[in-house]
Amino acid sequence: MSEQKKVTRIGVLSSGGDAPGMNAAIRAVVRTGLYHGLEMFGIMRGYSGMIEDDIVEMESRSVANIIQRGGTVLKTARSKEFFQPEGRKKAYANLKKRGINGLVIVGGDGSFRGALKFSQEFDIPCIGLPGTIDKDIAGTDFTIGFDTAVNTAVEAIDKIRDTADAHDRLFIIEVMGRDAGYIALHSGIATGAEHILIPERKTDIEYVISSLQEKEKRKKLVNMIVVAEGDDFGGAEEVNKIIKERIPAADTRICILGHIQRGGSPTCLDRLVASRMGYHAVESLMKGRYNVMVGVMNNKMCYTPLEKAVKAKQTISDEWMRIVKILSS
């Protein structure tokens, strides 16, 4: 943490993949800032808007009627230019011109990496809010958007199971998670999936196949495999290919859930988490605690230095894997 600076004008932006609840976080940041008499600015399209000077002043009504909406009213982007010194220089000039002396960034670890570099170079106090459906950021039990995404996946998988059951089929469902298996793990357990394949664990495909062969022998033909898109063995297509080769009698289908997991109205939990984090982001900036990510752990707010938040991922305990194995037998 740097020494305390008086923050009077705060810019808020969403960056990286959108996540349901980002709007609730933006609303909380803007309204808490206004409550304290600060001037609040919305930066459009993440760091791209900062570089291109696409910045708008926000009033209380600018964030009316958005808490229930998915996506982000500030739009979002993954800016390559911001990772170049020249891009960050332009961004800083635009903030300086408006007197913006504090930033709240709602995004994932890539967005925090940008914030960290920026705050080191230009000494702008930054606060990160974990906004990602992947839940792959250390220092928080919740990320904004995860609960909604995982509930969307659960709803979809339940529906697919009806068809699997009606036709005695084996379904392979691919969920999002390029580097993280939380959506697969949680939605898989919640829907009673027979196998869950995640990037955090090396996939033992031989075990999956022998278990399916054994189930086939005892006429258990309805099986659900939930695979994270970033699994080391591959996604739904690859898993399906090998199953068809090794168990030709299996009636298999695949379903890739894709971006439906990113959109939609946030759940109550995501709205609450986002509101709480947004409120604490501003309080924290005002108290001089910055260059941290605001998280919630064991129902307490916690503040992880951005350096740590970008380095560590959440880990998946062996206990979870044991639960999957025991409950799916």
Give the one residue of 177, 199, 235, 278 binding ligand F6P; rule: CB under 6 A: 177
Binding string, residues 210-249; x marks residues near ligand F6P by CB under 6 A: -------------------x--------------------
Part in contact with ligand F6P (CB under 6 A); list of ranges 32-40, 67-75, 127-135, 277-285: 127-135
- Decide if 134 is catalytic: yes
Tell me if 247 sits within 8 A of 235, measured CB to CB: no
Sort 264 into a burial class: Cβ within 10 Å, 0-12 / 13-18 / 19+: middle
Number of residues engaging ligand F6P in binding (CB under 6 A)? 10
Give the one residue of 27, 31, 135, 262 binding ligand F6P; rule: CB under 6 A: 262
Nearest distance, CB of residue 148 and ligand F6P, angstroms: 12
Give the one residue of 17, 125, 128, 235 binding ligand F6P; rule: CB under 6 A: 17
Nearest distance, CB of residue 177 and ligand F6P, angstroms: 5
Part in contact with ligand F6P (CB under 6 A); list of ranges 97-105, 155-163, 174-182, 288-296: 174-182
109, 134, 136, 231: the catalytic one is 134
80 forms part of the interface with ligand F6P (CB under 6 A) = no
Give the one residue of 80, 97, 159, 178 binding ligand F6P; rule: CB under 6 A: 178
Per CB under 6 A, residues contacting ligand F6P are 17, 108, 132-134, 176-178, 229, 262
